[in-house]
Every structure is written in C-alpha cells, then in structure tokens.
Structure 1
Amino acid sequence: MTLQGDGGTDPRGHGDDVRAVPLRHPGRWVASAVVLVVAAAVVSSLVTNERFQWDVVGEYFFSSAILSGLWTTLWLTAVSMTIAVVLGIVIALMRLSPNPVLQGGANLYTWFFRGTPLLVQLIFLFNISALYPVLTVGVPFGPQFFEIPANDILTPAVVAIVGLSLNEAAYMAEIVRGGIKSVDHGQTEAAQALGLRRSVIMRRVVLPQAIRVILPPTGNETISMLKYTSLISVIAMPELLYSAQVIYSRTYETIPLLLVASIWYLIVTSVLTVGQAYLERRMSRDQRNPETFLGGLRRHLRVHDRRAITRRERP
C-alpha cells in the first residue's frame, strides 16, 4: 500500500495525517476473470456435449470388470511400493557405505533404472525369456543346483511387481539417502562416542530422525506408483486401464470408458493426497519441539547430575 498525506495538521501539531491507500492489482482481476471464463467453458462443454456419454460412464462405473481392475491396481501399488521402500533403504545404505564395491554397485543400479524408461523396462522384462529361456540357480562357472523355465516364473503379475519395484527402488534410494544426509552429523558422532555400532546408530538414531524428511516425498512416489500401474496394460495385466480397454475394444465406446478409468484414478489419488496431507501436518506438529539424540542425552545427564547432587547433600 502507499502512504498519502492529506495536507492537514492534527490539533497537537504532529504534522500531516497519513492515510493508507491500498494498491490496486488489475492483473489479479484479469487473471481471475480468465480462469472463471475457462472454468465455465469446461463445465459447459462437459454438460452439453452429448459425445461424453455420461449415461455409459454411469453404466460401467461400478461394473465387475472395472472394480476387479481397480482392486488389481490397488494391491499392485501396495505390494510394489512396499518392496521398493525396503529395497530403496538397502540401496541408499549401500551408496553411503565406505565400501567402494557396495557404493559402486548402488550407483550402477540407480544409474540404470533412473536412466531408462519404465515402459521399456517392463517390456524388456516381459520378454526376458528370449535371452534366458531357462533360469538356473548355482555357482558361476560351477555346478547348477536347479533350473526352471523362465515363462513359468515370469507371469504378468510377477513382471509387473518386479518391474515397478526395481524402478521405484532407484528413486526411493535417492529419497532415503537425502533424508539420512539431512540428519545432523553430530547425532552420529554422539552415538559413536557412546560405543554404539554403525548398524545400531542407523537403526536407532539416524533413520527415526530422517523419516520426517523421507515421508513427504514417499507419499508423492506412492501416488505416482498408482498411476504407473497403467503401464502394465502393455503386458496384458488386467489392471484398471486394461479392464477399460478390454470393454471399449468390444463396445467401441472409447471416451466413456477412459472417463471411467480417469475418475477412479482421481478418486484414489485424492484419498492418498488427503492421507499424505494428514501425515505431513502430524509430523509438522511433532517437529515444533523435537527432542534430538543430543538433546535427550543432555537431558539424561542433567537428571543424573541432579540425582548425584541430591545424594551428596543427604545427611
């Protein structure tokens, strides 16, 4: 806002009165008008355009095929994301390891899976039997314990879980690594001074504090994972999108069935977004006065000193 004098003097002679004049923002009004016009045009098109076939959308929205595909999408997301988080933690610890072999292997893993498209990885894995018709378990250049045809193991469900998990683990590894690096190094030094092992320090000191940084992007990755499951349709896995494709390939009602799938994706992602927002608010409240490892150690020492002084002062 601007300050503008009115040229008068107050009775006490303190000079000109100052009147606040708010600044005008015509650009905001123009932008708001444009947004409202676009929103009205979209709503009008959705309501008046009969080619959307909303009656067909309502007919198939709760059909058994669509609900079965939705269930497949949900459990596929949950299983793949769980495996990816566990594997991502392992890879992140390997990247932070002083062992150059572990560090190099983790770097190679993240380089490959972050550098190639997920769709290519899924198709390649689905056709891996062309390279390895028979999978064997044994000692390299030594005896083989047993073998099994690749097609008997790599079903579409297995390919979907393995492909999604391996790809997502590369991104989760970077998220976990960033969370671990965000923890003050003094926490680790204090734990080492107490004689704790590296594995105990990581499990009891570092990871509990890093979870505050890891959790929000993990929620974003979970939402992304839900949408990435639509790529499984290329290997004929009957998830939500593939179920819609099967129906409209028979009825030729492409747009309504794509709308059905899109609405279900929006519903599930909205629920996940609400859950993510709740967790972030919960953790932000916990972060207002967090007790770090050093803070807890100092508090423990102060209590111990007070008890020692009290014992000495007793007659």
Structure 2
Amino acid sequence: MSVDGFTSMVIPMLEGAEMTVLLFLIAIVLSVPLGFVLTLAVNSRNQGISGFAHTYIYIMRGTPLLLQLLVICFGLPMLPGIGQYLVLDRFTAACIGFILNYAAYFAEIFRGGLLAIDKGQYEASQVLGFSRWQTMTRIILPQMFRVVLPAVSNESITLIKDTALLYAVAVPELLHYAQTAVNRDFTIVPFFIAGVIYLIMTLLLTVLFKWLERRFKFE
C-alpha cells in the first residue's frame, strides 16, 4: 500500500475519531452528574420521586442503547401532533440518547458506592455535629468516589466503544469512515486501523483512571 493510499484512509478516520471523542466528552460530563441526581432520587423519602427514578433506571438499563437512539432520532418526530417539534440534529439526538442511557448506569454505580459506606460513618458525623450537607460533602462522597472509581472507569471505556453506534443513526464517526474506506478500496485494513485507534483511546482512559485510583487511594 502506498503512502498516499494509507494517508487517504487514516486522515478521514482521524476526523471521525474527533466526533467519537466529542460525543464521549459530552456524554461523560453530563451523564455522571445526572446519574448522581438519579441516585439521590432513588434514595428519596418521597415515594413518587423514588418510584420514578427506579422506573427510569429499569427502562434505560433494560432496553438496548441502539433502540433508544433509533427512537430519539427517528421515532419521536413521528409522534402525532408534537413530532414536528421533536426533530433534532442527528448528533444532538445521539448525545441525548447516550446521556440518558449512561446516566442510568452511573446511578446504579453510585448507589452501590453509597451502600458500601458503613453506617457508622453517618453516626460519627452526627456525633461530631456535622450537618447533613457537611456529612455528604466531607465524609460520604469522598469515600464513595474511591469505591466507585473502578466501576466508573469500566463504564467510561464501554462508553467510548459504544460511540460506534453513531454509525447506525447516520452520524459520520470513526467506524463510518472505516467502512467507507473498506467499500472504496476493497481491503479490511481500515478496520484494523479503526481498532488501533479505539485501543489507543481506551488505553489513554485506562491510564487516566489508574492514575486517579493511585492518587485517591492514599488521600
């Protein structure tokens, strides 16, 4: 394979990787706090709020992400009466789908982290005269963060791989350009290149989370 031929494959795929990274950053930045809000809602004493959060998490975790993306991209605009107001740019629709889906998974991760905190921590904070807010921010959340960090790391790596689903809703990302190169040049080399790019991205994430685990382990 010539240098020009290799370049013609790689450059568009790197442009697609930019879309992959952009979706990942948007999804992770928004789904993590939304997931924590859902965790608080699940633990709410209000049965209505708690029930809604449980139902939401069950639906989002119990149905495929691809189905959710298809509903948001193509299904919502077909709703009678209001469909015309729900027509979204494909990338925007995909971002919404990823955020809503991964928030449910992060909510369960955070809930597990809270359950892992010994009840004696809450009792000790009361003895020390801490308010509910001080207890959560100074004692519970730092410990919860250390507990859930490995699970958040794993889910983040899954997220960056799931961005390949953008291909199914016609958003040009890494896999889209790889498939285009395969069809054009009749070679599977672009698939291997795409695999290497995904491995590099997941490696960077792994290194980042390993660093975070080492840092917070000793604090």
**TM-score normalised by structure 2 residue count:** 0.90
Give the greater-gyration-radius structure (CA): 1
> Is 1:149 equivalent to 2:96 in the alignment?
no
CA displacement at 1:266 relative to structure 2: 0.9
Shift in Å, 1:178: 1.0
Code of the aligned partner of 1:130: M
| 1:256 correspondence with 2:189 | yes
Change (3 A) 1:172 1:132: farther
SS, match of residue 237 in structure 1: coil
- CA distance in 1: counterparts of 2:80 and 2:190, whole angstroms: 38
Residue identity in the other structure for 2:210: A
Residue of structure 2 equivalent to 1:270 = 203
State the Cα distance separating 1:210 from its structure 2 match: 0.8
Kept in 1, the 8 Å contact 2:10–2:193? The answer is no
Does residue 204 of the first structure (1) align with residue 152 of the second (2)?
no
- CA 1:134–1:54 in structure 2 vs 1: closer, same or farther (change >3 Å)? farther
Between Structure 1 and Structure 2, which shows a larger proportion of helix residues? Answer: 2
TM-score by length of 1: 0.64
Match of residue 69 from structure 1: 16
Q: Of 115, 119, 125, which residue of structure 2 is paired with 1:181?
A: 115
1:131 paired to 2:51: no
Q: CA deviation at 1:200?
A: 3.8
List alignment gaps of at least 5 residues for structure 1.
1-52, 136-147, 287-315
Using CA pairs below 8 Å that are at least 6 residues apart, which structure has the higher relative contact order? 2
2:38–2:53 contact (8 Å) kept in structure 1: yes
Q: Deviations over 1:241-266 (max 9, x none)?
A: 112223333x1435122112111101
Higher strand share: 1
Amino acid at match of 1:266: L
Compared CA separation, residues 94 and 199, structure 1 to 2 (3 A) = farther
Please give the alpha-carbon distance, in whole angstroms, between the structure 2 residues aligned to 1:171 and 1:244: 29
Q: Which runs of 5+ in 2 are unaligned?
A: none
1:119–1:231 contact (8 Å) kept in structure 2:
yes
Question: Contact (CA 8 Å) 1:57, 1:257: kept in 2 or not?
Answer: no
Is 1:117 the counterpart of 2:64? The answer is yes
- State how 1:91-110 maps to structure 2 within 5 Å: 91-110=38-57
Code of the residue aligned with 1:221 in structure 2: it is E
Could you say which residue in structure 2 is the equivalent of 1:86? 33
Percent of aligned positions that are identical: 38
- Residue 197 of structure 2 is aligned to residue 234 of structure 1: no
